[in-house]
Amino acid sequence: MSDRDAGGRGDATGEEAGEPAADNPPVRRVSDWDAERLRGLAGEHETPLYVQDLDRVRENCERLLAAFPDADVRYAVKAHTGRAVLEAVRDAGLDAECASAGEVDRALAAGFDGSRLHYTAVNPPARDLDYVAGVAEAEPELTVTVGAVDALDRLAERGYDGRVCVRVNPGVGAGHHKKVTTGGAAKFGIPYDRAAEATRDAAGRFDVVGLHAHAGSGIDPDQLDSHRELVARMGELARDLSEPSDRDGDDPRDADPIDLEYVDVGGGFGVPYEEDAPALDLPAVAEATREAVAPLPAGVDLAIEPGRYVVADAGVLLTRVNTVKPTPDETVVGVDAGMTDLLRPAMYDAYHPIRNLGGASGEPPVAEREATPVTVAGPICETGDTLGRNRALADPSRGDLLAVGVAGAYGYEMASQYNSRPRPAEVALDDGRAAVTRRRETLGDLTTVEREADRDRTDRPEGDR
């Protein structure tokens, strides 16, 4: 188990390990957010606007650490890479699991040292491997997870011989959408029936410290059987590798057992997006995980890497109604946020709860309005640019503020400048205080890289242009 900094947890269990307080519910619904506070933030910072509650991020970290007191808990950075969020996660005691060189760079900037960094890339570009190999020279405790034998060769070509974790494809997948079901997809990991041999071969060139597998993203309670099967297979593989090999080879190390530090069974713990969906029973998931992976060889720890669970219900997206258009088939409520701000509904048919917070003044009170089924549509020139269809909202009017809930994971991270739309601002709440953590992009920002390219070309000698 990796060392924690002074802001992290120790080895205690129960209440000493951070047992969630009574006011730390397993999920925060969009109806739990303070409407007046959100209206005030939207009035001050305009819309579209992301709001991320760092106190809730810490509460979610606390719940994970309490459910998995004997495991290494690593935050999947791709869920939300904002500096304020990363610092909150770091101080809570979670490590950082990074899917790209950019995420490694962000984690370092947020104060994670190499012993708390895990680089888990898929088909990493050459420049990413160059960067990470360079980081490892200064941070030798950094761990690189590889999902192909070819990736091992590419690391060796760069002179890297440090800590390696082997990603395995267990042939078992789960998740909220086929596009994020990774456990059974050929793109991810070394096939299970080849993993033992590949790991033993890697141990001749690197310091092999772990095994890794991940079923998918947004696993709900109905998919826990797949999660348990994945975990059980990884436990079996760890036990196999902890025994001397009987294979013949020229290198005597071929017969040596692999001295693993951990088995990482991924994250993907789901959160309830629909208003009446139950929260994931995290203690039950933790117990099932421990039972499925046991017994691990002596000295081998369990590791998990949740992302969505940490940040999803800690964020909302605020958007303003600009158009109300009744049609024979439906009433379309046009808002200033769209698929460039929150891509999940368009890409995954994902459901996000939507709440009408009323006008800037709060009048007329939304509680006095009749619920009306509407389609909430954005300003992008795409039919798929909707945030929700057939939603019963308190009769929307132009100027009303809508809160799109459970938007803290893969919200801002998947935002784009499609249709030449500047990306939204983000505000973080911390112990009641609000601070802008990502400023709103301007129209000028859209052409910055082009203007810089023009300037660079102009500054070069004429013969080099």
Q: Which two tokens stand for residue 48?
A: 């579209």
Q: How many helices (H) and strands (E) does the chain have?
A: 13, 18
Same domain, 227 and 324: no
Same domain, 227 and 172: yes
Domain housing 265: 14-27+55-309
Q: Give the model's pLDDT for residue 16.
A: 43
pLDDT per residue as tens, the chain (465 positions): 444 333 344 333 334 444 666 678 899 999 999 999 999 999 999 999 999 999 999 999 999 999 999 999 999 999 999 999 999 999 999 999 999 999 999 999 999 999 999 999 999 999 999 999 999 999 999 999 999 999 999 999 999 999 999 999 987 644 343 433 444 567 889 999 999 999 999 999 999 999 999 875 555 656 567 778 888 989 999 999 998 876 555 554 456 899 999 999 988 888 999 999 999 889 988 998 999 899 999 999 999 999 999 999 999 999 999 999 999 999 999 999 999 999 999 999 999 999 999 986 666 789 899 999 999 999 999 999 999 999 999 999 999 999 999 999 999 999 999 999 999 999 999 998 999 999 999 999 999 999 999 888 777 676 655
Same domain, 257 and 362: no
Listed in sequence order, the DSSP H helices in 178-264 are 192-203, 224-241
Residue 218 lies in a domain: yes
Residue 429 lies in a domain: yes
* Angle (deg, nearest 10), helices 192-203 and 149-157: 20
CA atoms within 13 A on the CB side of 359: 9
307 is annotated as contributing to ligand binding: yes
Same domain, 431 and 286: no
114 is annotated as contributing to ligand binding: no
Number of domains in the chain: 2
Neighbours of 147 (CB within 10 A): 24
Same domain, 299 and 183: yes
Same domain, 265 and 370: no
Q: Give the model's pLDDT for residue 437.
A: 98
Q: Give the model's pLDDT for residue 255.
A: 63
Same domain, 252 and 370: no
131 is annotated as contributing to ligand binding: no
Could you tell me where the beta strands, DSSP code E, fall in 245-289?
A: 262-264
What b-and-e string marks burial along 10-46, b requiring 16 or more CB atoms within 10 Å of the CB? eeeeeeebbbbeeebebbbbbeebebeebbebbeebe
Q: Give the model's pLDDT for residue 227.
A: 75
Query: Given 288, 309, 330, which residue is the final one in a domain?
Result: 309
Neighbours of 129 (CB within 10 A): 20
Query: Given 309, 342, 376, which residue is the final one in a domain?
Result: 309
Integer Cα distance of 288 and 227 in angstroms: 9
Neighbours of 293 (CB within 10 A): 23
410 is annotated as contributing to ligand binding: yes
Integer Cα distance of 98 and 264 in angstroms: 14
Same domain, 241 and 372: no
147 is annotated as contributing to ligand binding: no
Integer Cα distance of 197 and 320 in angstroms: 56
Backbone angles phi, psi at 294, to 5 degrees: -75, 155
Active site residue 61: no
Query: Given 277, 292, 309, which residue is the final one in a domain?
Result: 309
305 is annotated as contributing to ligand binding: yes
CATH of the domain at 416: 2.40.37.10
CATH of the domain at 199: 3.20.20.10
* Angle (deg, nearest 10), helices 101-109 and 126-138: 30
- The catalytic residue among 61, 98, 165, 381 is 381
Same domain, 303 and 370: no
Same domain, 332 and 366: yes
